[in-house]
Amino acid sequence: MLTTNRSSALILGVFLLLGLSALGGLLGKAALDHKQLDRTVTVKGLSEREYQADIVIWPIPFAVASNDLDSLYTDLEVNAAQIRDFLTENGIQPDEISYAPPVITDRSAQQYGGDNRAEFRYVASRMVTVYSENIEGVRAVMNELPELGKRGIVLTGGDYQSQTEYIFTRLNEVKPEMIEEATRNAREVAQKFAADSQSRLGKIRRASQGQFSISERDRNNPHIKQVRVVSTVEYYLSD
């Protein structure tokens, strides 16, 4: 009986030893695999393209002065009509033209002492605005703007509200291709890094898409927009 018990214990010990050895191998492999998963590379991919704006907002501010309110309002209407005629003569559609209400200043109410009197008591300013998708057509008309001065219209401007604005509205149309291009560029950078480090590029661990930015290409061409996005991608590396 004692011999049988010793044999059983020996067999059990052998199996335990084999089991522990197998477990140790599995744990070692798991640790090695985990270490491999910890090896990553983070890269950025850029997509940058130029597009022409598809909407232009062109404010045309003008001013008139008079000592009589009735004549002041008449001059405002006459000048607005002349600007409208000038625009339509040069290809701007009537439904692309809008008019802001006039702003009138009484200079006599602004004098705080002193004998200096303004030549005209009333000064009025008004804005005619062109809103169009015909970018090139509107830009061509802008070059003819001095013609309004020859017609006796006093054009004003120089402030923020009188700046021409160009808008790019097709961002959702170009997003998919640009994101694809940025991701592809990021992968090319990661593959180059992996090759230089004698590694293999694995799957994506995580990725984030940067925000799209839209800016003017330069001061002389504000109607040409530069659209830009940067994608950040982290890849696994393996030997």
Residue found by looking up tokens 């003819």 in the block? 144
Question: Could you read off the pLDDT of 221-234 as tens digits, one per residue?
Answer: 999 999 999 999 99
Of 162 and 60, the structure prediction assigns the larger pLDDT to 60
Q: Does 180 score more than 90 pLDDT?
A: yes
Question: Could you read off the pLDDT of 35-48 as tens digits, one per residue?
Answer: 445 689 999 999 99
Residue found by looking up tokens 């000064």 in the block? 123
pLDDT at 235: 94
Among 16-20, 27-31, 222-226, the minimum mean pLDDT is found in 27-31
According to DSSP, residue 90 is labeled T
Quick one: the chain helix, strand, coil %, rounded to 5? 45, 30, 25
Q: How far apart are the first and last CA of the chain?
A: 56
Of all residues in the chain, what percent carry a pLDDT higher than 90? 70
DSSP string, 103-131: EEEEGGGG--SSS---S-SEEEEEEEEEE
User: Stretch 116-133: mean pLDDT, rounded?
Assistant: 90
The dihedral region occupied by 2, where left means phi > 0, alpha psi between -120 and 50, and beta the remainder, is: alpha
Instruction: Calculate the average pLDDT of the chain.
Output: 85
Domains detected in the chain: 38-53+168-239 (3.30.110.170), 55-167 (3.30.70.2970)
For residues 223 and 54, what is the distance between their CA atoms, to the nearest angstrom? 8
User: Stretch 86-93: mean pLDDT, rounded?
Assistant: 96
Q: Does 20 score more than 50 pLDDT?
A: no
Q: Does 57 score more than 90 pLDDT?
A: yes
Q: Does 124 score more than 80 pLDDT?
A: yes
Helix (H, G, I), strand (E, B) or coil at 84: helix
SS (H, E, C) 137-200: HHHHHHCCCHHHHHCCCEECCCCHHHCCEEECCCHHHHHHHHHHHHHHHHHHHHHHHHHHCCCE
For residues 185 and 8, what is the distance between their CA atoms, to the nearest angstrom? 65
